[in-house]
């Protein structure tokens, strides 16, 4: 049995070098949703993590493997409640895979002094509380933590993530959109006022709760746009691209629902500020991503497909310059439940605890 060491003094004093045999005690609230289930799947094979708490208000007392039969004879625990204060005293990190409003209502200083929080909702992603309340139609109960919360896009904010005690895990659409466009925005190669993002997602992005729009007969043999000119991930993408480009960004973002379980494909369009060659743009992308474990810049004229990233933490990106329109077309593909949610959350946890960033995330894409 592996030695289980205490790795922190519970008051935000984290060491850089640690015994590799220690185990992070993990609690998951919202463990029976799709993102929560994916967290469980990934953490089962994590060398330095042990799940102590499978939180689910609606399934309290039920065997976790009875809800997700894929964990039969793998997870023997029952579901527990969602009391964050009790949980914080027992674990090192809490993942909240919950709807908007849960984490922000439950969070307090006592909790933050005892455990690190990785929130998979949007409660702490946006720095402007007015924008959050407008787009999510909720009153934010603890805006005092918005400034402290670190936006957990690892490839952009790695150093800040390492010292965070409150981590805002990015949304799925924003992760794919931002990573696909970031090098162009950061290097000032595109006119940010011309950005248009067309996005497509599988049905798991809408969560596990029953909705008529997600029934098989509604989704099968169909594709549709939804939340046109009003999807709540829009301000998150705008905020991060504004930071990257150094100017206010307002863009069009249109999501579509496609009849598949997993995956996101984004196609973004923008006007180039000047004439550029393929080699020049490829060099820019390589300079940002060639050392990144989970961002793959594809070869020329090989464009991202969701089937090549399914079940993995990879994001595939590429671009095509259209000299006729003086625009660039950027594409990105990823698994919305892995890099778009649970995988990214584990990647953030690894950074926060000084572990190799890839630990627990080495799973290869599944095909077919």
What positions carry a catalytic annotation?
Answer: 172
**Residues near 141 by Cβ (< 8 Å), separated by ≥ 6?**
104, 105
Give the pair of three-digit tokens for residue 91. Answer: 């674990």
Distance of alpha carbon 252 from alpha carbon 122, whole angstroms: 20
Contact 111, 85 (CB under 8 A): yes
For residue 242, the 8-state DSSP code is H
DSSP string, 59-125: GTTSBHHHHSGGGTTT--PBPB---HHHHHTT-SEEEE---TTHHHHH--HHHHHHSEEEE-SSTTT
Please check whether residue 333 is in contact with residue 298, taking contact to mean a CB–CB distance below 8 angstroms. Answer: no
Edge to edge, the sheet with strand 295-297 lists 224-225, 252-257, 196-201, 264-271, 327-334, 315-322, 295-297
Distance (Å, whole) CA 71 – CA 41: 8
Enclosing H/E stretch for 154: helix 154-162
């Amino acid at each position: 049995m592996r030695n289980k060491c205490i790795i922190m003094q519970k008051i935000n004093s984290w060491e850089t070098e640690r015994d590799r045999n220690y185990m992070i005690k993990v609690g998951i609230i919202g463990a029976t949703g799709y993102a929560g289930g994916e967290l469980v799947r990934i953490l089962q094979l994590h060398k330095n993590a042990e799940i102590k708490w499978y939180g689910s208000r609606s399934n309290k007392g039920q065997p976790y493997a009875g809800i997700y039969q894929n964990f039969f004879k793998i997870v023997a625990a029952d579901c527990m409640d969602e009391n964050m204060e009790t949980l914080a005293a027992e674990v090192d990190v809490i993942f909240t895979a919950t709807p908007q409003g849960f984490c922000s209502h439950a969070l307090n200083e006592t909790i933050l002094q005892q455990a690190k929080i990785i929130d998979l909702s949007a409660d702490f992603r946006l720095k402007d509380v007015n924008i959050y309340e407008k787009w999510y139609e909720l009153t934010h109960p603890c805006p005092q933590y918005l400034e402290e919360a670190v936006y957990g896009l690892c490839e952009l904010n790695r150093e800040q993530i390492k010292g965070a005690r409150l981590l805002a895990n990015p949304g799925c659409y924003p992760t794919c959109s931002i990573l696909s466009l970031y090098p162009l925005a950061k290097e000032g190669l595109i006119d940010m006022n011309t950005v248009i993002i067309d996005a497509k997602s599988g049905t798991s992005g809408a969560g596990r709760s029953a909705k008529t729009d997600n029934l098989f007969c509604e989704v099968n043999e169909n594709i549709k746009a939804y939340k046109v000119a009003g999807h709540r991930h829009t301000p998150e993408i705008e905020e991060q691209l504004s930071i990257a480009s150094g100017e206010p960004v307002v863009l069009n973002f249109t999501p579509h629902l496609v009849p598949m379980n997993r995956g996101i494909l984004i196609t973004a369009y923008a006007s180039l500020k000047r004439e550029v060659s393929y080699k020049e743009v490829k060099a820019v992308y390589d300079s940002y991503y060639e050392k990144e474990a989970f961002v793959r810049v594809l070869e020329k004229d090989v464009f991202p497909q969701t089937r090549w990233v399914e079940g993995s933490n990879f994001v595939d990106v590429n671009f095509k310059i259209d000299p006729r329109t003086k625009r660039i077309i950027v594409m990105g593909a990823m698994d919305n439940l892995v890099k778009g949610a649970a995988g990214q959350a584990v990647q953030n946890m690894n950074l926060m605890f000084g572990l190799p960033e890839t630990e627990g995330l080495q799973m290869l894409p599944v095909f077919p």
